Structure 1
Amino acid sequence: MKRNMKKLLTLGVTMTAAAFTLAACGGGSSDEKTTAKNENASIKLWVDVAFVDTYKPLVEQFEKEHKDWKVTIKPSESATAQENLKKDPSAAADVFMMPHDQLGQMVDAGIIYANTKYEDSIKENSTESAVEAATYDGKLYGYPYGVESQILYYNKEKLAEADVKSWETLTSKGKLGANFGEAGANYIFTPLFMSNGDELYGKNGEDIEGTNFNNDKGVQVLKWVREQKDNPGVIQSNADALSNLGNGKIDAFLSGPWSKLDVEKALGDNFAVAPYPTVDLGNGPVQQKAFLGVKLFGVNASTKSPVAAMALADFLTNKENQLTVFEKNGTVPANKEAQTDGKVTSDKVAEAVMTMSDADHSVVMPKLPAMVSFWGPADAVLNDTYNGKIAEDQYLPKLDKLVKDTSKSDK
């Protein structure tokens, strides 16, 4: 998900066919208009290469249940889903994997089909945060199949479970590897502002003028970031975090489920995982938050078989199939019932991710296209603050500029 989050792309698609524009804007709300087109439908499905073998038998089951529909599955990087779709929507897959943060860009470009058939069941069966991530401007588009958040990995020989519950005890009793001073700090530590009560693009992440980091709470966050430079329990770590964990230079670090196998290899029997700790930014302990990413399937707005395509997206994301994907690929389900399954609850990483996926522990990554203008300025403020390049009396002016830059739209 980290890679996905950083691959936010700019807009720039021109619609050339009136029919395509209508399909994109209207979302094909009339099944009667499309049913005839779905007889003997041939559907193309894009999934990440690591998921192809997992989804092949699921596709075969779908075809058995819908004998007039043929599905061709091909590998395609979900992190660049919108870029691949924009190249030639008519030649792209009918159904595709995507990270939820690309949703706003896809909607604005008119390349994703509204979920007009399965909205009620998805809202009923998916977690609240997953539904929020699949929705843009009040309309549901995506089909959630997984949730992803950063968590805390630690060496249980060096740190007890009680030690990792707060930043203070974590960094006083052990050494935490964290990236404050290099590119990528934005993804990890921007949610500190929301931990302290500020907002990024408003309450729902869709208000272009809704960022309010330039206040006393935001200044508190920067003061705390600067203090970590002088905290002996914090070791600047980025690409070297895993090696530092393995050689004992650090005892814990913040990462996501994508690091599970590498951390297990580095720590062996001392492997342990937990949700983020609390942190005191100046007003007492608050929960340190992370960005939440939601994995979606989407339907191409230019599909010739929207009924079949929507049916496939819904089938691939049902409870049973989300559990299959969890068992095969480790993707934590977005389905509420699937999250209570013993196979999921017995997995410590999944348990930590599910805890982090609630509103008290995470913020759904905003879907606004303007996020593309946020990452660079946010990194600069966090990196320069940590490295002592910004005087304390310049914190508020720097946040004023960050908010101004954040409010830019590349439409």
Structure 2
Amino acid sequence: MKTNWKKYLTTGVILSASALLLAACGDSSSDKKDTASSDKGSTAKPEGDIKLWVDTEQVDMFKGIVADFEKEYPDVKVEIAAGSSADAKQDVSKDPGAAADVFMMPHDQIGQMADAGLLYPFTETKFAENVKKDNVDSAVEGATWKEELYGFPYGVESQVLYYNKAKLSEADVKTWSEMTAKGKIGTNFGDAGANYIFSPLFMSNGDVLYGKTGEDVKGTDFNNENGVEVLKWIAAQKNNPGVVQSSAEALSNLESGVTDAFLSGPWSKNDVEKALGENMAVAAYPKVDFGSGEKQMKAFLGVKLFAVNQQTKSPVAALTLADYLSNETSQMKEFEGFGIVPSNKTLQTDSKVASDAVTAAVIEMSDSEHSVVMPKLPEMNTFWPAMDALINDTYKGSIKEDQYMNKLDKLVSDISKTTE
């Protein structure tokens, strides 16, 4: 059984800081007046020296945003330093007391970090109201763990379909069958990394991974007829002339004309533009027929977050900064500076944002019809290699059709074991 270290180590800190934050919200209800009249409550405002970690390449951009923040909150001084959002769990856990007060992180690390007492929950504060009101539902889901908010969304990320519009039309890429009949897609079924691209096929066909919320260790139901249909479809792609197994060579195949389409994310935008030039086009994922009618092909959705260190000595200031860095104005600057697709509802409909083809496709993919928020459970570490092996071996024909259900039973059993 997992120990809830947060409960034992941080309860006092949370209650004390929450009192400050609730008072700062300006709530005049009688049950909060006593808090507001206390010494700390009456002076509750953002103040103190805090440290901010952002990705190395984004330091200069955030210096400008932080300068604006300090003008608005002159009692807060922010030290900004280069970090790595992908390594947030590793970097913060080394020495939480010395780590940044506010840092970037991917949403799928929330489960492990929250359970380890590394993240500051803020569900009962005004900041939670902002997060829920301003951001798309999928981003809020990504920022939530066990019904507690731990992160401030500032962007969403999903794979999309890049294609050569000189070879394929908008109509051609609406369905997998039409696309692979009219052209060739280069994608990876047979090598490591197929798990990230094609695991969501099971959710496309009605199954769930770790339950509907992605937080139930025993909630995966891939071992059913829907799951068998998915494996049959994967196996059939080996003999589909419109599918070219492509891993490291996917971009070179696109550039040389060996293939006409490619599944990847906004991180590949510049490379695809180089490969296809003016013929580059982008779309949301196509529909797929697993044998019982067309279903929307889904992708995993990632949510980019700012989080607050549980051990911050200035929680009001840290939460205020995280809120500011993820507000509408800051998200627009992050979009303009680095093409980060906003999670803010208003910005997702902004003409400047939506005019970018890749961004528009990611925004379309960010709804629940097109994507599933990647689960935040630590058990995902077990899921990835097991799913890679299943997809690779099914595609290569190493697993026969009469073995599909047994293999799915084993997969579900293996990934349902609680990580200690």
Unaligned 5+ segments in structure 1 are: 1-11
Aligned position for 2:78: 71
Counterpart contact for 1:183–1:379, Cα < 8 Å = yes
1:30 Cα deviation after fit: 1.6
2:328 to 300, 314, 319: 319
Residue 185 of structure 1 aligns to which amino acid in structure 2? A
Residue 305 of structure 1 aligns to which amino acid in structure 2? S
Counterpart contact for 2:287–2:294, Cα < 8 Å = yes
Write out per-residue CA displacement over residues 322-364 of structure 1, whole angstroms, 9 at most, x where no aligned residue. Answer: 0110011000100000111111010100100000000000000
Aligned position for 1:128: 137
Match status 1:272 vs 2:298: no
Residue 231 of structure 2 aligns to which amino acid in structure 1? L
Identity of aligned residues (%): 60
1:35 Cα deviation after fit: 8.1
Match status 1:400 vs 2:409: yes
Aligned position for 1:92: 99
Aligned position for 2:220: 211
Partner SS, residue 410 of structure 2: helix
Aligned position for 1:141: 150
CA distance in 1, matches of 2:218, 2:56: 38
CA distance in 2, matches of 1:104, 1:22: 18
Counterpart contact for 2:6–2:115, Cα < 8 Å = no
Aligned position for 1:82: 89
Aligned position for 1:102: 109
Match status 1:289 vs 2:278: no
RMSD: 1.9
Aligned position for 1:382: 391
Aligned position for 1:169: 178
**When the two structures are superposed, what TM-score results if normalisation uses the length of structure 1?**
0.94
Match status 1:304 vs 2:293: no
Counterpart contact for 2:17–2:316, Cα < 8 Å = no
CA distance in 2, matches of 1:273, 1:25: 45
Partner SS, residue 197 of structure 1: coil
Match status 1:44 vs 2:33: no
Counterpart contact for 1:27–1:301, Cα < 8 Å = no
CA distance in 1, matches of 2:51, 2:227: 47
1:114 to 121, 132, 146: 121
Residue 29 of structure 1 aligns to which amino acid in structure 2? S
Corresponding pairs, count: 399
Aligned position for 1:196: 205
Unaligned 5+ segments in structure 2 are: 24-39
Residue 69 of structure 1 aligns to which amino acid in structure 2? V
Counterpart contact for 1:35–1:307, Cα < 8 Å = no
Q: 1:13 to 1:87 in 2, by over 3 A?
A: farther
Write out per-residue CA displacement over residues 376-395 of structure 1, whole angstroms, 9 at most, x where no aligned residue. Answer: 10101000000111111111
**When the two structures are superposed, what TM-score results if normalisation uses the length of structure 2?**
0.92
Counterpart contact for 1:28–1:114, Cα < 8 Å = no
Aligned position for 2:250: 241
CA distance in 2, matches of 1:408, 1:190: 19
Runs ≥4 in structure 1, deviation > 3 angstroms? 12-18, 23-28, 32-40
Aligned position for 2:18: 29
Q: 1:54 to 1:361 in 2, by over 3 A?
A: same
Q: If you compute each CA radius of gyration, which structure gives the higher value, 1 or 2?
A: 2
Q: 1:350 to 1:27 in 2, by over 3 A?
A: farther
Partner SS, residue 43 of structure 1: strand
Residue 307 of structure 1 aligns to which amino acid in structure 2? V
Aligned position for 2:239: 230
Counterpart contact for 1:46–1:73, Cα < 8 Å = yes
Aligned position for 1:7: none
